Structure 1
Amino acid sequence: MDSDQETMKNLSDSDQGKSEDLFKSNYYEDYKSLPELDTYDISDASTEKPMTYSEMCRMEREVNEKLNLEEKESSEQKYLEIDHSLVSLFKKFLLSFEKNKYVNLIKKFCMENEESLYVNYLDLESFDDLFIKSLLSKPEDTLFILDKGLELAVKDFFPNYFKIKPKVHVRILNLPVLESIRGLRNLHLNTLVKVNGIVTRVSNILPQINVVKFVCTKCNGTFGPYVVDKPDFKPNSCFECNSKGPFMINSQETLYKDFQKITIQEVPGSVLPGNLPRNKEIICYYDLIDKTKPGDEIEVVGIYKNNFCLSLNNKNGFPVFSTAIEANSILNKQSEFSTLKINEDDIKLIQKYSKKENIKQIIINSIAPSIFGHLDIKKAVALALFSGERKIFKDKVVRGDINVLLLGDPGTAKSQFLRYIQGIMHKSILTTGKGASSVGLTASVQRDPVTKEWALEGGALVLADGGICMIDEFDKMNENDRVSIHEAMEQQTVSISKAGIITSLNARCGIIAAANPIRGKYNTSLNFHQNVNLTDPIISRFDILCVVKDVIDVEMDTKMGKFVLENHTNQQTEYKEKKKKEEEKEMMPQDLLKKYLVYARNNIHPQIKEIDLQKISHFYTEIRKESLNSSGIPITVRNIESIIRMSESFAKMRLSNTVSQQDIDDAIQIALGSFINAQKFSVTKQLRKKFSKYLLRNQEEEIIYFILNDLLNEKIKCSGNSNIFVDKNDFEKIARSQGCKITKMFYNSKKFGELFEMSGSKIKRIN
């Protein structure tokens, strides 16, 4: 037993001898005094009082607010950090594309203190398709990145420019696909789209919150800022007192941006019959504000967005979103035919037609080919379609559009002519006198249902700006409503002074009105005033008065009966085929006529010579003197301007930039015809005889050419030789016997030089 205890003791001693000494022999060194380490450095100690708990909480909130702001700066900032290379690529595009094309544009828009650079979509596509992929997938993010790239490019040339303009923007033009307003669907949401339409309403300019700070009404604590990216943005609670509100906006520290909403409507010419034009709201920011006004036709490139609408939700009973287009660029179309494309082949064909000698008659025959006869109305409609030239002086503006009044018996196709014009004219508005009020024709001020602000909405004349407005049943209008269009017919503006809005809108359109006589049928024993319920001020504003009478004529009635029956039957008789071939030679296809109108109105700007003005002045003196003796329509200075407008319209039909003597003669003939047709039947014959030198001028020229050709044909027939001459004195003697007077102007005319050759007193036909 003792031996075992001794053995265990020996083992214990041996294990203890082999164990690790944790403190070792110098463990006392760990407790050694080190003064340089055992004292605190008080050189940087703060003398301020320690922060209280509330101050520490406020400090923490400020840090959180900064972090929150960075998170709420929307996805554009994150996208910029991820694809910073796209910013550099766009800057490279601006500085190197096509011989400094955009460098010059940047310098120009900076010199003019602008904030938008317009970039062609096709240029971006040709430089690098990465831009196109980004615009298609994330248009809002990409546009933000392009703006950043433009900022860098501007800083290279003008480092201090952003002291003048804090922001610059890239505007995309010429997007290849044009969407219709009624064709926008959910597939287009959050994508870049291009639409066109007519501006119908423009709201006031309102400040929209961009970055906001709030004030708690309970503790007066200020918290924020927040980037407002949603219209219904509200904070959850106050950071000071944790209350749920109410909160007030700190207007002094809140940042705003300008906001305007416009409404566009489908172009009337693009809407199928029986369909109502659709509307779409356009949201405008920054320099896009006040770029348009009611009546303008615009092309909008923007992002198609949706927004939750509480009123629609309550109405439908399920979540419904309202849609709008946030505009990136707005292009104001100056041309009324801007959507109609004309290629080089069309231009060659148009110019080929214009060289025809009887091009004016071909155009007149092509107007409403489904309506038989009524050449005077067709001529008036053709003049209104081509119109004259608008002249702008320092102190006044002279209209170029031609106004036409069609007055006649029922069943004389007046309304059919208006429907035809609506189809062939790109920008045209058709309304009726009974269903149109003064504000419906001019403009109105209505309260916006969302903002509750007064907004300006254009009427028919404003929406037809740059085109033609047609008013059927013009005599059925209320007199007060008719007075409201006096300004629009002559000054071509609509003045508004309602609800604190004082402005003037453009109504640069021709007016074609149709009316019926007071007693149902036009009474030729009465003058024009006694047949229609219109006042002198409104009548004097019409350039052409067409009186349509339903006269019984056996020959004409037979032809009209055949024409109507052929339109209602499919029988291809020999007579119809022959007639159709004859008409095709003297008519222009309707598609080509539309393009002819486009080309003439956009490219031809005729001018009149001073010598020709003397002739118009002499005619005005004669007809004004005669109007004082008659009881017809009054002749005023406006009739001189009407003749000039019609002369310019005839020149446009020939695609000529110079008004010829023949154009003036044709215009005088129409003006004189309007004056004579408005007289009593008993006075008509006397006036025609007195002014026969103006009315029969064209007929006289045709008779002279007929006499000359007849003389040559007779001599050729007798001699059998085509190279034969006619004596000038013999020719003039025969012409005088027929009541025709030949002047030097006849021999110097272009037509005579193309058909005949003159050597001394001998006249020979050119083979």
Structure 2
Amino acid sequence: SGLLNYYQDRSESEMDDQMNPPFSSNPSQGEDLPPFQDESEADALLGNLGEVEEGEGEELFGDRLERDYRPIPELDVYDPNVMDDADYEALSPSGRAEVDRLLQKRDREEALGKGRMRPGLLYESDEEDGARPSRRRRMAERAAEGGDDDDVSLYNMIESIENLEDTKGHTVSEWVVMQAPRLEIFNRFKNFLRTTVDSKGNNIFKEKIQQMVEENKESLIVDFHLLANAHEVLAFFLPEAPTEMLQIMDEAAKDVVMSMFPKYENIAKEIHVRISDLPLIEDIRSLRQLHLNQLIRTSGVINSCTTILPQLRLVKFDCPKCGYILGPYFQNQNQEVRPGACPECQSYGPFEINMEHTVYQNYQRISIQESPGKIAAGRLPRSKDAILLADLVDQLSPRLSYASEITGIYTNNYNGSLNTKNGFPVFSTVIMANYVERNDDKLAASALTDEDVRTIVALSKDERIGERIIRSIAPSIYGYEYIKVCHRTSQCLEGFQRTLGGKHKDHHIRGDINILVCGDPGTAKSQFLKYVEKTAKRAVFTTGQGASAVGLTAYVQRHPVTKEWTLEAGALVLADKGVCLIDEFDKMNDADRTSIHEAMEQQSISISKAGIVTSLQARCCVIAAANPIGGRYDPSLTFADNVDLSEPILSRFDVLCVVKDQVDTFRDELLAKFVVRSHRKHHPSARAKEDDPLPDINPSSIEKIPQVGWFNGAVEEIQKIHIKDMKYILMRFPLKVLTSKLLKKYIIYAKEKVDPKLHQVDQDKIAKMYSELRRESMATGSIPITVRHIESIIRLAEAHARMHLRSHVNSEDVNTAIRITLESFVETQKFSVMRSMKR
């Protein structure tokens, strides 16, 4: 088209010269016919032509036809500068390409010009002689020469460019790659980067670009909500055609960055636009064919990753026969592109890669798995591979095992082994990451609304908030208030880690509370673990029989694609900053239990396998349930004799809970009524009732109910009361159960927003308590008391203060921590020793 304009302009110039020939002193003499003898003969000829009537026209054929070809010296005068009688060779392909390039550059400059008048405004008519055809007309003529009436002409596209969302029947992917829409998207996004300001009037992306340049990065983060508010059509096109849109945005961002910092191209050859805060988050298991080639956002935990590898991006080849450099060839993700033949010597190779001119980029492949807390009951977690390129590499790894979010293009690629496995052609899917984000635990508290915060603060002012939380924990389980208190305190310090100040800032002290529940079968030990799994923000449930040492910690395996050794995270690593629940803890062998010693105290897991030497974070509390030796707990033996666990593992548990199935007529009746009432109340066909009607109660029995708690004999006092008087206990101590959703929000707020201080702690009381416990432990031969128990008391006191949203640990918190420690110590003694201690 550019070459056609070149020849058209040239022909128009020749016609103008022929119509108005300039005079010169060099006459041109004819050769075939003699010239006129005098001027009268020529005048007579011209006069006869002027006398011809307009209707008859000029006689072109006749007896005097030869006179038209006789030379006229006065008229046959031409300028040699405009003579075009030389022979011109045809343009070479490279020459034609150069002409087209110059014409396209001129057209782009005209289109990008601001405030420039149209050619139609400069002339009275576009068809006026001597006026150059407008660019719009030339583009319409070029489109018409294509001969395809079904396609929308570029002329029509430019007319409707203001209505960019009207794709003229094309798909979004086809529309955005056309010249006019692409140019409009380029201009709009560049204007968006230059003009977007915050509430204070500061340019948002100017500051981001300056920060990016200071850090020598090549990623510019763009908030999707900002883009949608400024240009809705761009936000609409982006998820539908992400590959094409991101390419245009990258070019516009590079143009803006290079205009601000012209020499930054020496550091970063490309600028990548990263889209953050995409509104919809898709689950990994919900990705379908509908999401292919779409921009998606998903979340999960990183359980494996490869090392950073160099990937070919633009490759050039050397011809060994003639030395010609072939390329560059752009390498895609699906297949390797190689030249067929050398254009210089027509050789078919083999060709060698030119290492000097080949461009590489960083490449890393990771595997993202569904978060354990978001998996439906009975489902296995699913995973999906994601590819990180450029400066996204090494931002996510298994050692940072908390939930991560990936925004990228969900695409497919060819996998021969997958076809062989399935027996028919299928494609494997992968996420081409555009933006990654590590979700810290502080983000959970930011999800709380102002109304939630006001409700939580109001609840903390209730004097009986502790008892309400105890009753709200596992309400379907009758009794066991002591175990519920332990679970409550452990959740308030879930994932917490204390860092020493001063010169030891790198030293950390465990802040999580580990709990071991041991007792007879049928005492709801596993139900407690299941309830914690549902209420905790992040929980990983496993069993000792089905878990191995590497399954709990970490293991290495060969990656199926790269064939290199990769690190896979275990249960403790996946539960980082959460809780790890281990049922049937006694069924584990000694070698497997030994592997979790480091995780329970140092909260890290050291790996030295297959050339990989690293340390993974395992900042989680461990809640385990075990059965005694022989199936039943023997009260005549100590706790250490009833369980098949070593002293090192027992000392790492802050609280030891013993659950005994004792025969008691009164308690058995209460338990049976509670179970029957629970089944009747939660039956689908039953009508919801808040309370049952009160039975006949003897008012004189009210005075027999002392105001005592669970820790100083409440069960023994309640046993003296007739069963029909139990309703007065609820009337005397009215407690409203918190919903599981509100309880979870309360625990999240307490754990993340409250950090109680310890300077008001009664140190003498804790020191005296520790010395007496060690003396009794040596005298009775029960579980050993170590310095870890002092830290356990401090952790329990901090957790109790967090539960009440207090900024300081007071004497009530210390007393509660001491009661829990004493109860744990007494319950692990022999029956005779325990009875004497209770007295």
User: Conserved in 1, the CA contact under 8 Å of 2:305 and 2:366?
Assistant: yes
> C-alpha displacement at 1:282, in angstroms?
1.5
User: Conserved in 1, the CA contact under 8 Å of 2:559 and 2:566?
Assistant: yes
Matched AA of 2:186: H
**Candidates 341, 344, 363, aligned match of 1:259:** 363
**Candidates 238, 243, 254, aligned match of 1:140:** 243
Deviates more, 1:443-452 or 1:78-87: 78-87
**Candidates 466, 490, 500, aligned match of 1:384:** 490
Deviates more, 1:617-626 or 1:638-647: 617-626
> C-alpha displacement at 1:615, in angstroms?
2.7
Q: Quick one: structure 1 residues 145 and 412, their matched pair in 2 at CA, closer, same or farther if it must change by over 3 Å?
A: same
> C-alpha displacement at 1:111, in angstroms?
2.9
Report what 2:420 is aligned to: 314
Q: Secondary structure of the residue that 1:20 maps to in structure 2? A: helix
> C-alpha displacement at 1:467, in angstroms?
0.9
Report what 2:558 is aligned to: 447
Report what 1:91 is aligned to: 193
User: Structure 2 CA distance, aligned partners of 1:251 and 1:613?
Assistant: 69
Q: Quick one: structure 1 residues 212 and 670, their matched pair in 2 at CA, closer, same or farther if it must change by over 3 Å?
A: same
Report what 2:207 is aligned to: 104
User: Structure 2 CA distance, aligned partners of 1:119 and 1:617?
Assistant: 56
Q: Quick one: structure 1 residues 88 and 611, their matched pair in 2 at CA, closer, same or farther if it must change by over 3 Å?
A: closer
TM-score, structure 1 normalization:
0.77
User: Structure 1 CA distance, aligned partners of 2:613 and 2:431?
Assistant: 28
Q: Within the alignment, does 1:596 sit opposite 2:737 as a pair?
A: no
> C-alpha displacement at 1:217, in angstroms?
6.3
Q: Within the alignment, does 1:513 sit opposite 2:624 as a pair?
A: yes
User: Conserved in 2, the CA contact under 8 Å of 1:178 and 1:194?
Assistant: yes
Matched AA of 1:603: K
User: Conserved in 2, the CA contact under 8 Å of 1:91 and 1:152?
Assistant: no
Report what 2:772 is aligned to: 622
Report what 1:492 is aligned to: 603
* Structure 1 runs not aligned, ≥5 long: 1-14, 41-55, 67-74, 690-767
Report what 2:676 is aligned to: 565
Q: Quick one: structure 1 residues 166 and 661, their matched pair in 2 at CA, closer, same or farther if it must change by over 3 Å?
A: farther
User: Conserved in 2, the CA contact under 8 Å of 1:340 and 1:595?
Assistant: no
User: Structure 2 CA distance, aligned partners of 1:574 and 1:126?
Assistant: 48
Q: Quick one: structure 1 residues 235 and 375, their matched pair in 2 at CA, closer, same or farther if it must change by over 3 Å?
A: same
User: Conserved in 1, the CA contact under 8 Å of 2:586 and 2:645?
Assistant: yes
Alignment of 1:231-380 (within 5 A): 231-239=334-342, 240-294=344-398, 295-335=401-441, 338=444, 341-380=447-486
User: Conserved in 1, the CA contact under 8 Å of 2:329 and 2:337?
Assistant: no
Show CA shifts across 1:187-245 (max 9, x none). Answer: 22222211111111111111111101124567765411111124313325121554544
Q: Within the alignment, does 1:437 sit opposite 2:561 as a pair?
A: no
User: Structure 2 CA distance, aligned partners of 1:609 and 1:94?
Assistant: 49
User: Conserved in 1, the CA contact under 8 Å of 2:490 and 2:514?
Assistant: yes
Matched AA of 2:390: Y
User: Conserved in 2, the CA contact under 8 Å of 1:444 and 1:456?
Assistant: yes
User: Conserved in 1, the CA contact under 8 Å of 2:551 and 2:570?
Assistant: yes
User: Conserved in 1, the CA contact under 8 Å of 2:445 and 2:749?
Assistant: no
User: Structure 2 CA distance, aligned partners of 1:211 and 1:94?
Assistant: 34
Report what 1:20 is aligned to: 66
> C-alpha displacement at 1:441, in angstroms?
0.5
**What fraction of aligned residue pairs are identical, expressed as a percent?**
44
User: Conserved in 2, the CA contact under 8 Å of 1:337 and 1:598?
Assistant: no
Alignment of 1:575-586 (within 5 A): 576=692, 585-586=735-736
User: Structure 1 CA distance, aligned partners of 2:573 and 2:446?
Assistant: 21
Report what 1:228 is aligned to: 331
Show CA shifts across 1:244-268 (max 9, x none). Answer: 4444433332111001111111122
Q: Quick one: structure 1 residues 186 and 21, their matched pair in 2 at CA, closer, same or farther if it must change by over 3 Å?
A: same
User: Conserved in 2, the CA contact under 8 Å of 1:219 and 1:241?
Assistant: yes
Q: Quick one: structure 1 residues 339 and 138, their matched pair in 2 at CA, closer, same or farther if it must change by over 3 Å?
A: farther
Report what 1:749 is aligned to: none
Show CA shifts across 1:47-102 (max 9, x none). Answer: xxxxxxxxx99x99x99xx9xxxxxxxx9797755643134323324568852233
Q: Within the alignment, does 1:552 sit opposite 2:656 as a pair?
A: no
Q: Quick one: structure 1 residues 509 and 445, their matched pair in 2 at CA, closer, same or farther if it must change by over 3 Å?
A: same
Report what 1:634 is aligned to: 784
> C-alpha displacement at 1:468, in angstroms?
0.5
* Structure 2 runs not aligned, ≥5 long: 1-60, 87-91, 102-175, 695-726
Q: Within the alignment, does 1:122 sit opposite 2:228 as a pair?
A: no
User: Structure 2 CA distance, aligned partners of 1:444 and 1:466?
Assistant: 20
> C-alpha displacement at 1:629, in angstroms?
2.3
Matched AA of 1:127: A
Q: Secondary structure of the residue that 2:561 maps to in structure 1? A: coil
User: Structure 2 CA distance, aligned partners of 1:131 and 1:668?
Assistant: 62
Matched AA of 2:387: I
User: Structure 1 CA distance, aligned partners of 2:249 and 2:184?
Assistant: 14
Q: Quick one: structure 1 residues 104 and 218, their matched pair in 2 at CA, closer, same or farther if it must change by over 3 Å?
A: closer
Q: Quick one: structure 1 residues 226 and 430, their matched pair in 2 at CA, closer, same or farther if it must change by over 3 Å?
A: same
Deviates more, 1:468-477 or 1:119-128: 119-128
Deviates more, 1:331-340 or 1:552-561: 331-340
Number of residue equivalences: 642
User: Conserved in 1, the CA contact under 8 Å of 2:341 and 2:349?
Assistant: yes
Q: Secondary structure of the residue that 2:221 maps to in structure 1? A: strand
RMSD: 3.3
Q: Secondary structure of the residue that 2:656 maps to in structure 1? A: strand
User: Conserved in 2, the CA contact under 8 Å of 1:367 and 1:378?
Assistant: yes
Q: Secondary structure of the residue that 1:482 maps to in structure 2? A: helix
Q: Secondary structure of the residue that 1:160 maps to in structure 2? A: helix
> C-alpha displacement at 1:541, in angstroms?
0.8
> C-alpha displacement at 1:370, in angstroms?
0.5
Alignment of 1:154-165 (within 5 A): 154-165=257-268
> C-alpha displacement at 1:611, in angstroms?
4.2
Report what 1:180 is aligned to: 283
Matched AA of 1:662: E
User: Structure 2 CA distance, aligned partners of 1:266 and 1:111?
Assistant: 36
Q: Secondary structure of the residue that 1:430 maps to in structure 2? A: strand
Deviates more, 1:610-619 or 1:281-290: 610-619
User: Conserved in 1, the CA contact under 8 Å of 2:584 and 2:627?
Assistant: yes
User: Structure 2 CA distance, aligned partners of 1:581 and 1:198?
Assistant: 45
User: Conserved in 1, the CA contact under 8 Å of 2:387 and 2:430?
Assistant: yes
Report what 2:648 is aligned to: 537
> C-alpha displacement at 1:349, in angstroms?
1.9
User: Conserved in 1, the CA contact under 8 Å of 2:240 and 2:295?
Assistant: no
Q: Secondary structure of the residue that 2:479 maps to in structure 1? A: coil
User: Structure 2 CA distance, aligned partners of 1:684 and 1:127?
Assistant: 72
TM-score, structure 2 normalization:
0.71
Matched AA of 2:497: R
User: Conserved in 2, the CA contact under 8 Å of 1:336 and 1:426?
Assistant: no
